[in-house]
Structures are given as structure tokens and as C-alpha cells.
Amino acid sequence: MIRGSIELVTNDGIQGWIFSEDGRIKERTLLAFYGEHCVGAGRVNTFRADLADAGMGDGHLGFAFPISVPVSDVGSVVVKLEGSDAVLLQNGAMITTAGAPSRDLSRSDVRERLASLKWALKHGRIAQGDFDFLRILWSSGVYERGLVRRNAADDGALVEKPQGVAAALLEAYLQTDVEVGVERVRNAAEFAAEMARLSCDHGSAPIVALHTDRRAILRVVEGSHIGAGGPDGEARPTHFVDYALSPESLVVLDVRTTAELLMPEGAVLDVISAAPSLA
């Protein structure tokens, strides 16, 4: 299995990473295409410490090479592995189901939700903790929550149960009782497939809580869940921010964001989702 990401494209250069389960990817040739036209070529030979730390081979999985395309065509460039059918798309490219309505938020949606949220806090309709959670989640598409708490009785440390904390956060988002489901994934491909499934599932909340039994990295393009072309004329963001996953923390993610998972072999990630309770 081959996976990877194009992280930055300009009219004269492209960079990112690519990984092969068989480990035979270093020094392979990559070809950049715009439509049917090859616009550049380079090799997989750049060391990436973040990928090595995530257990992905020796970390020599990065690439960066020159290309030549008009500025207007930058967003359509893809990368192909020579001698293979594998294709890397740019971050923000989305797989959609024909005829399925989009659940992307517009910038005006976010502004209206944040305004309503401030009103609810001002009039005591919402707790400060829920306000902070929803404000951060709606704005960036991701929210971190530690699970370690101090026990006031003996000043010892307590680790809250991740599913209980997740259910409370998901209820705050949906403003109703929820039924929680858990899907376990073991690699980046399974994670991507689960995010794609949930993004098309209009019966569930468009957010999930993530918890892992080992340390891993969740890379998120903050704000990428908000549709481009809003009234401010702003384009979607393109740069990843790394969030640490661990047994002592929970990360809530909007499934509409551009995100990828880096996790060591043998690790398990719980994807906790929710739908309104029918009871």
C-alpha cells in the first residue's frame, strides 16, 4: 500500500512525502502532472524526522523538486510514482459522493454560530467550558482535551475515561443526548476511509473524538472544514499543524477538515462518533 501527501505547491516547486508498506520507496522517481502534461520530476530522498518518529521506515520519505506551471493551474497538479498507478493529490482535495449534499461550513455559517455562542454565554445559556470547546472547534476544526485531572481529596492524579469525556463533548456539539459508536483503526489508510465514510453519513455528527493507546501524530489543516470562496474571498488554508495523540489526551476533529494520521505499527486509534439518541 502506498500513501502520502503533497504539502506545498507553487508555480515552480512541489514538496511532500510518500510511503510504501514494502519499504522500497527511497530514491524512486516521482513525476508531477498537470492534466496529461508532465511538468516536473524528482526523487524520494529527503529525510523527515516526523515520519521516522511515527515509525514509517527510516524517514527518508520526503520529496521536493522544481516544476513549471502557470500560477492559475497550481491547484490541479498531482504527483505520480513512476512505474505505478499510485497518485498523490494535493491537501484539500476531497472524495465526494455524486448527488450527496455538502456539509461544508461557509464563513458566514461560522460567524453566525460564533455570534449565537457569545449570546448564549452572555445570558447564561451555556457553560464556559462548552463555550470554549465549541468556539475553538468551529473556528479551527480541531480541539484538544487532556484526560488527566487532579483529585482534590488527596491531590493525586486521575485519568478520565475517554469515551465518557467524548460523549459529553459530542452532546455539547449536538445539543442533545447521543448514541456513541466506536470504530478502531490501525493505520493511516483505515483512518482516511473512516473519515470519508463519516463525512458522507448525514445521520451522525460531523465531528469525532480520537483516542489512541500509543503516541501518534494527527496532522490537521486548521480551518479547512470551512468552504472557500466566502464573502471575504479567502482561499482554504494549506499548512498542516501537528497534534499529539496519546493515552492521556483526546482530540476532537471535524471530519470535513483535511487531516492525516501518523501512527506507529501496532498502535490502535479509537474513532468515537455520535448520532442523536432516538430514545
CATH code reported for the domain at 2-88: 2.60.40
**Prediction pTM value:** 0.63
Task: Give the tens place of pLDDT for each residue, 108-126.
Answer: 888 888 998 898 899 888 8
- Range(s) of the chain covered by CATH 2.60.120: 107-276
Specify the higher pLDDT residue, 151 or 279: 151
Answer whether residue 100 shows pLDDT above 50: no
Provide DSSP, the chain: -EEEEEEEEETTEEEEEEEETTS--TT-EEEEEETTEEEEEEES-EE-HHHHHTT-TTSEEEEEE-----GGGGGGEEEEETTS--EEPBTT-----TTPPP-PBPHHHHHHHHHHHHHHHHTTSS-HHHHHHHHHHHHHSEEEEE-EEEETTTTEEEE--HHHHHHHHHHHHHTS-EEEEEEEE-SHHHHHHHHHHHHT-TTS-SEEEEEESS-EEEEEETTTTBPSS-TT-PPPP---EEEEE-TTEEEEEETTSEEEEE--TT--EEEEEEEE---
- Range(s) of the chain covered by CATH 2.60.40: 2-88
Residues 107-276, CATH architecture: Sandwich (2.60)
Task: Give the tens place of pLDDT for each residue, 186-218.
Answer: 988 888 888 878 876 667 788 999 999 999 999
